[in-house]
Amino acid sequence: MALSPFKRTEERITAVQPKTAPYRTYKLNFDTGELEEGRIDGQEALIQFAQKALVTPRFRHLIYDDQYGCELEDLLGQDIPYALLESEISRLIREALIYDDRVVNVKDFVIRREGNQVFAAFTVVTQEGALVQEVML
């Protein structure tokens, strides 16, 4: 169909929904810090992204832009009330993960302290569904 100057603009414009490209990335062993053989994608890649974003300090590595990483390291060890600590942990985790376009929301935070350790469990809502993560801070 050829373009005609006599057709209305609405008839010549076609709305296209953006497609989310599949994310295929290297597999990382968090215990050793080494790359493993093979690649991962889908939900496994998203889980790895979440883990890596939460352990990477924001603003410290030039290879990452200023939105990648987390500022939890700066918060831990400070003498602040527990209610404020809970609120800040939730905010910092949400800010670290919402950066990825696959993540729609981060919610349902449960933060608990056991001795000197702090654990955070939360739900990451994605375009494909939801997954529950728990991290030790």
Residue 63 lies in a domain: yes
* The predicted structure's pLDDT at residue 118: 85
Structure-block tokens of residue 94? 């949400």
Residue 85 lies in a domain: yes
Residue 5 lies in a domain: no
| Upper half-sphere CA count for residue 46 (Cβ side, 13 Å) | 23
Residue 60 lies in a domain: yes
* The predicted structure's pLDDT at residue 108: 92
Residue 7 lies in a domain: no
Residue 128 lies in a domain: yes
pLDDT tens digits, the chain, 137 residues: what are they? 555 666 666 666 677 776 666 678 889 888 888 888 989 888 888 888 888 888 888 888 888 888 888 888 888 777 888 888 889 999 999 999 998 888 999 999 999 988 888 899 999 998 888 888 888 87
Q: What value does the CA radius of gyration of the chain take, rounded to a whole number of Å?
A: 20
Output the domain CATH number for residue 70.
3.10.450.40
* The predicted structure's pLDDT at residue 2: 57
Which residues of the chain form beta strands (DSSP E)? 24-29, 34-41, 103-114, 117-126, 129-136
* Domain span including residue 112: 23-136
In which element (H, E) is residue 98 found? Answer: none
Residue 4 lies in a domain: no
- What total of structural domains would you count in the chain? 1
Residue 12 lies in a domain: no
DSSP letter for 14, please.
-
Q: Is the torsion defined by CA of 40, 41, 44, 46 positive or negative?
A: positive
* The predicted structure's pLDDT at residue 21: 60
